[in-house]
Amino acid sequence: MAFGPDFAREMKADEDAQVTALLDLAFGGPAESRLVQALRKSRVIAGETVLPYQGQIIGYFALSYMVKPKGWLCLAPVAIHPDWQGKHHGQRMMGLLSEWARISQTPVVVLGDPTFYTRCGFSLAMAANLTSPYPIDHTMLAGVAGKPPREALVYHPAFGES
């Protein structure tokens, strides 16, 4: 019998402290947990997903609403507990998210490592015509079919504060 994390699910309100601890550990400091707190305070979080295991949170990601384009989501942050990294749990979570984005036709933007996120279903090519305050060569998109969109990305101001 295989042992490992449970299925990813929506974060519960009483898991905030565990998520904060995970983010601080995974990122080596509080910048990402402060970002999440600022996004929550601004009420722009569209959803928070956790990966639980034996009462602990070992994985997390947040989706927040982009300022522009309307209806688009931003994926950040994404974290897997260091003891669980390299075991494909993050890839599984991101793969499920990119498939949800495709099926629901909800554009999801991520800024990160192209090697990782493209394996999970995000596309550099679909983001090629976007303009962004962040490096476009690390910006990927899921949930969009057809021609790559020409849009200017405007992130919530909390992203500039972290």
Each residue's pLDDT tens digit, 78-113 = 999 999 999 999 999 999 999 999 999 999 999 999
pLDDT-derived band at 161, boundaries 50, 70, 90: low
User: Could you identify the residue written with the tokens 């983001």?
Assistant: 127
Above 60 in pLDDT, residue 162? no
Compute how many other C-beta atoms are within 10 angstroms of the C-beta atom of residue 11: 20
Domains parsed from the chain with CATH numbers:
9-161 (3.40.630.30)
For β-strands 45-53 and 56-65, DSSP reports them as antiparallel
Closest C-alpha to 78, from 90, 86, 89: 90
**What CA–CA distances, in Å, run from 41 to 2, 35, 64, 98, 117?**
39, 10, 12, 26, 28
CA distance 19 to 36: 10
Give tens-digit pLDDT for 22-43. 999 999 999 999 999 999 999 9
H-run or E-run covering 51? strand 45-53
- Rounded CA gap, 37 and 131, in Å? 27
pLDDT of 4 strictly over 70: no
Residue 1 has what pLDDT? 41
Split at pLDDT 50, 70, 90, the class of 61 is very high
DSSP state of 15: G
Local confidence band at 7 (pLDDT 50, 70, 90 cut-offs): confident
